[in-house]
């Protein structure tokens, strides 16, 4: 059974619209992350959360808003979508925030977003 679920798997959106990417992890982890992978850039860190609190934000645009309604959920709301937002968005999680040797980040299957 998949331990990190991302929904939807594929998403097509119109420029200017708003979408929410869902991430749920069933690994019992306390830290969750969002990364983006596009053709132009390699894997790029976006946000990190620990115990549902924002720890780091490397996304310049406020159009990207993470939302943690539950400990094992970290959704990503994207508003005013642009074609440049087209990418695969990966959710990841780790037991803690990586201060310990064993805190490996595990990646979900990703949501592939295409903005037309």
98 belongs to the binding site for other proteins (CB under 8 A) = yes
Which residue stretch of 22-30, 59-67, 75-83, 98-106 sits at the interface with other proteins (rule: CB under 8 A)?
Answer: 98-106
Which residue stretch of 21-29, 52-60, 67-75, 77-85 sits at the interface with other proteins (rule: CB under 8 A)?
Answer: 52-60
Please state, in angstroms and rounded to a whole number, the distance separating the CA atoms of residues 116 and 98. 37
Please state, in angstroms and rounded to a whole number, the distance separating the CA atoms of residues 65 and 82. 15
Please state, in angstroms and rounded to a whole number, the distance separating the CA atoms of residues 79 and 82. 9
Tokens matching residue 9:
């798997």
Least Cβ distance, residue 6 to other proteins (angstroms): 9
22 belongs to the binding site for other proteins (CB under 8 A) = no
Q: Specify which residues 22 forms β-bridges with.
A: 7
Q: Count Cβ atoms below 10 Å from residue 60 Cβ, excluding itself.
A: 7
Which residue stretch of 15-23, 55-63, 64-72, 73-81 sits at the interface with other proteins (rule: CB under 8 A)?
Answer: 55-63
How much of the chain is in helix, strand and coil states, percent to nearest 5?
Answer: 5, 50, 45
109 belongs to the binding site for other proteins (CB under 8 A) = yes
User: Could you list the residues that contact other proteins (CB under 8 A)?
Assistant: 33, 35, 42-45, 48, 50, 55-56, 58, 90, 97-99, 101, 103-110
């Amino acid at each position: 059974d998949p331990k990190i679920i991302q929904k939807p798997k594929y998403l097509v959106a119109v420029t200017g619209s708003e979408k929410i990417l869902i991430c749920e992890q069933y690994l019992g982890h306390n830290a969750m992350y969002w990364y983006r992978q596009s053709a132009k850039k390699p894997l790029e860190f976006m946000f990190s959360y620990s115990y549902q609190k924002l720890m780091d934000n490397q996304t310049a645009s406020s159009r990207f808003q993470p939302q943690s309604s539950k400990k094992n959920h970290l959704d990503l709301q994207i508003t005013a979508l642009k074609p440049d937002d087209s990418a695969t968005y990966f959710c990841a999680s780790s037991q803690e925030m990586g201060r310990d040797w064993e805190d490996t980040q595990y990646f979900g299957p990703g949501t592939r977003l295409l903005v037309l």
